[in-house]
Chains A and B, each alone.
Chain A
Amino acid sequence: EVGLVESGGGLVQPGGSLRLSCVVSGFTFGSYEMNWVRQAPEKGLEWVAYISSSGGTIQYADSVKGRFTISRDNAKSSLYLQMNSLRVDDTAVYYCLRVDWPWGQGTLVTVSS
C-alpha cells in the first residue's frame, strides 16, 4: 500500500499510555518534515506535533506538551507518537501528516474508563 499507514490506536484508561506508528511509502521519508494531527469526534482538525526531517527540531501543541513524544526512524520510514498520561479529551483519530501529501486513514485512540 502506498502512502501513510497509521497503527497503534485502541482503548486505554485515563492515565495510560499508547504508542502510535506511521509507516510511510511513496516518497523519500528522510527528506521531509512530518507531523501528527488529530480529530476528536465531530470536531475539527488539531495539530499535535512536528518533527524536522533529521529529527533535530521538534514542536508540540500546548495541549500535549510534556505528555506526548514524537520521534522518527528514517531507516525504517517510520514516524512515532508516544502518548503518556492520556486524558479523556485525547480521544480522537490520529493522523500522521506530510503537509502536502495524501493523508492516511488514521488510527482511533479512545481514552475511557
Chain B
Amino acid sequence: QAVLTQPSSLSASPGASASLTCTLRSGFNLGAYRIYWYQQKPGSPPRYLLRYRSDSDKQQGSGVPSRFSGSKDASANAWILFISGLQSEDEADYYCMTWHSSAYVFGAGTKVTVL
C-alpha cells in the first residue's frame, strides 16, 4: 500500500468546487505530518500551491489564489485540497507530498478536468 493515495482523476464544472484527497496509509497519524500540494499543467514544471499541517500551521504559496485551500479529514486519515470556483485554468495534475521515514513521498497525482 502506498504511503500517499490520490484518486487518479476528478471532473467538475466551471464555477463548481472540488475536493482533492490525499490519503495517508493506515496506521500513521495525520497530525504528525505536513502536506505539500503542487499543481502541474502540461509542458510546465510543477507549481507550489500550499503547505498544510493544521489550521494554525499552514502557508499559501506566493501568488496562489485564496480559492485554493488546505484542510484535513481526520476520520478519513486524509488531507484535502479544496478548490472553489473552478476555472478552466485549474485543469491540471495535482500532487501531494510529505516527509515520511527519512524521505519525501509523492502521491501519484490527481488529474482535474474542468468540463
List residues of A whose CB falls within 8 A of some B CB: 35, 37, 44-47, 50, 59, 61, 93, 95, 99-106
**Residues of B contacting A103 with CB < 8 Å?**
38, 45-48
List residues of B whose CB falls within 8 A of some A CB: 36, 38, 40, 45-48, 51, 59, 61-62, 93, 95, 97, 102-109
Q: In the docked arrangement, what's the CA distance between A104 and B103, Å?
A: 21
Q: In the docked arrangement, what's the CA distance between A46 and B3, Å?
A: 13
**Residues of A contacting B36 with CB < 8 Å?**
99-100
B48 adjacent to A101 (CB under 8 Å):
yes
**Residues of A contacting B105 with CB < 8 Å?**
47
8 Å CB contact of A50 from B47, B62, B104, B106? B104
Other than the known A102-B48, A103-B38, what 13 A-B pairs have Cβ atoms closer than 8 Å? A37-B104, A45-B38, A45-B97, A46-B106, A47-B104, A47-B106, A59-B103, A99-B51, A99-B104, A100-B51, A102-B61, A102-B62, A103-B47
8 Å CB contact of A106 from B38, B45, B62, B104? B45
CB distance from A99 to the nearest CB of B (A): 6
**Residues of B contacting A44 with CB < 8 Å?**
93, 95, 106-109
CB distance from B4 to the nearest CB of A (A): 11
Q: List 15 A-B contacts (CB under 8 A).
A: A44-B93, A44-B107, A44-B108, A45-B46, A45-B97, A47-B103, A47-B104, A95-B45, A99-B36, A99-B51, A102-B48, A102-B61, A102-B62, A103-B45, A103-B47
